[in-house]
Amino acid sequence: MSADLLIDPGLVAALRRARHVAVLTGAGVSAESGIPTFRDAQTGLWASFSPEDLASPAGFRRNPRRVWEWYAWRRELVAQAAPNPGHLALAELARYVPQLTLITQNVDGLHQRAGSEAVIELHGNIGRVVCAEEGGVVEQWDESGGELPPRCPRCGAHLRPDVVWFGELLPEAAMAAAWAAARSCDLFLSIGTSGLVEPAASLPRAAMQAGATVAVINLDVTTAARPPLYTLNARSGELLPALLRAAWDDTPP
């Protein structure tokens, strides 16, 4: 079914009158850019790799080279990917609403490459590398010796990707900003996330408890309109442009 037909007029009205829209995105938003999600049965990363071995401090301690190489592979995937119409629609949405807070669990930086600003990255960014001991960002490092992971030029400890691993705390400032946005927005869009990983998974509920309208756009939901909750079974790259068309096609920003 065409994405336009899935969009309930009540959701369009809520979007048009919203003063503050908060958006939480997950891996599903980047799927149409060719980046694997985590839990999709056939194509998700966790179907082929073990999160404990590859996305945890213990896994890194056990085999730092394997973890470094896995993230180098994912960094290459991201470098070859391009923002899709879903990313671009979210960047354009900022021009139509008085306040937009974009919160992402994704570490691929595609929202920023699509033009979104002030993106709240709850799980870090695969494009940044930090010292595993000091935590500081390292811009340049030497891989000529062949040792992987490379060593911190300041203290000699291993380098690691600047992403949140299982068992690690999320960046405090990012989480505080995300909670504040969820509790103060009029409309909360949860897009392309399975909603299984806390604390991000609690944001839509917090928004609804604070009186916001919530729309969930995903491939594993049934399309339904039960205000203040709307669920739309659609690809974000199709649904988000359709949503902007439905709301503002006759009134440019």
Measured between alpha carbons, how far is 4 from 88 in angstroms, rounded to an integer?
17
Q: Which of residues 230-249 bind ligand OAD (CB under 6 A)?
A: 235-237
Per DSSP bridges, beta strands 159-163 and 124-131 are antiparallel
Q: Nearest residue by C-beta to ligand OAD? A: 28
Q: Pick one of 85, 109, 150, 192: the residue that binds ligand OAD (CB under 6 A).
A: 192
Is residue 148 close enough to count as binding ligand OAD by CB under 6 A? Answer: no
Minimum CB separation from ligand OAD for residue 95, in Å?
22
E strands present in the chain: 20-25, 99-104, 120-121, 124-131, 159-163, 187-191, 213-218, 224-226, 229-233
H/E element, 81: none
Q: Pick one of 81, 208, 219, 225: the residue that binds ligand OAD (CB under 6 A).
A: 219
**Measured between alpha carbons, how far is residue 11 from residues 98, 196, 221 in Å?**
17, 25, 16
Is residue 116 close enough to count as binding ligand OAD by CB under 6 A? Answer: no
Site string for ligand OAD, 41-70 (x = CB under 6 A): ---x----------x---------------
Site string for ligand OAD, 10-29 (x = CB under 6 A): ----------------xxx-
Q: Pick one of 72, 130, 177, 197: the residue that binds ligand OAD (CB under 6 A).
A: 197
- Give the interface size with ligand OAD as a residue count (CB under 6 A): 26
Please indicate whether residue 111 is annotated as part of the active site.
no
Q: What angle do CA 103, 136, 152 make, to 5 degrees?
A: 130
Minimum CB separation from ligand OAD for residue 235, in Å?
4
What one-character-per-residue DSSP string does 32-72 give? TTT---SS-TTT-HHHHS-HHHHSSHHHHHH-HHHHHHHHH
Minimum CB separation from ligand OAD for residue 178, in Å?
13
E strands present in 72-179: 99-104, 120-121, 124-131, 159-163
**Omega before residue 252 within 30° of 0, cis:** no
Residue 62 has which token pair?
């056990």
List 87, 111, 123, 158, catalytic entry: 123
What is the contact surface with ligand OAD in residues (CB under 6 A)?
Answer: 26-28, 31-32, 37-40, 44, 55, 105, 123, 164, 192-194, 196-197, 217-220, 235-237
List the catalytic residues.
123
